[in-house]
Homo-oligomer: A and B are copies of this chain.
Amino acid sequence: MSTPQGWEEIRAEVLRRISRRDWPPGAIIPTEEQLAAEFGCARATVNRALRELAGAGVLERRRKAGTRVAMYPARRATFEIPVIRLEVEGRGQRHSFRLLEQAEAVPPLAVAARLGLAPGARLLEVRTLHFADGKPFLYEDRWLNPAVLPEGLPPDMQATSLNEWLVKTVAYTYGDIAFSAESATPDEAALLGVAPGAALFVTERTTWAGDQPITSVRLAYAPGYRLRTVV
């Protein structure tokens, strides 16, 4: 490459210099202005490239102090939070689900705490079993804040999964996610058709719209599930 053109090529060139250890971890790299002069482009173009790399965790930038290679240039990876139906269909399988329970109840303390609600507040619990090609795929246990449902639940809970309806109806502005591995309880094992104690991939998500809690959900995937992404 002669001189990089466009912010993507500049990003690639900077990354190359880092992996060649021209700029080792911790080193300060030239200022935007210097790089712009070297590459023969505007400072804004260099800024765009360096900003992306800082967002990926490769660089650390501070005003006045300059830009340095991160001491541990570990990258940030991103993954999608899919709608369950699309996740199943994306594997080339047919999605279906069965509504197990739908009832108003007082949630466990952990759920109330995660949502920032007073203990004893009543929520709506919806438990659903999802299938891929008719075989159990994941068990969804969802606690829902009724206050965010002005028109109540969707008209036809048998046709559209709550998961999908929520995503399209109540956009959230903030959420947290945790992944873990758990041993299947006897109940979960029976639902998913596996041996008790089997290793299940579990994701727990809690979402808010502004400062109002929407829902806290626990998804337990049948064994064999893998969450993939690239860096």
Question: What is the total number of residues of chain A having a CB less than 8 Å from a CB of chain B?
Answer: 57
Copies in the complex: 2
Chain A 211-223: CB-based contact to B (< 8 A → 1; otherwise 0): 0000000000101
Of the 9-residue stretches A67-75, A99-107, A111-119, which lies at the interface with chain B?
Answer: A67-75
Contact of A76 among B58, B78, B179, B228 (CB under 8 A): B78
Tell yes or no: A202 within 8 A of B by CB: yes
Least CB distance, A145 to chain B, in whole angstroms: 15
CA–CA, A15 to B175, complex, Å?
A: 14
Contact B79 A77 (CB under 8 A): yes
With a CB–CB cut-off of 8 A, which chain B residues contact A81?
A: 74-77, 231
Contact B229 A176 (CB under 8 A): yes
Chain A 174-198: CB-based contact to B (< 8 A → 1; otherwise 0): 1111111111000000000000011
Contact A198 B176 (CB under 8 A): no
CA–CA, A174 to B181, complex, Å?
A: 26
Tell yes or no: A110 within 8 A of B by CB: no
Q: Which of A77, A82, A209 has the most C-beta atoms of chain B within 10 angstroms of its own C-beta? A: A77
Tell yes or no: A172 within 8 A of B by CB: yes
Given contacts A77-B177, A79-B77, A176-B228, contact A72 B199 (CB under 8 A): no
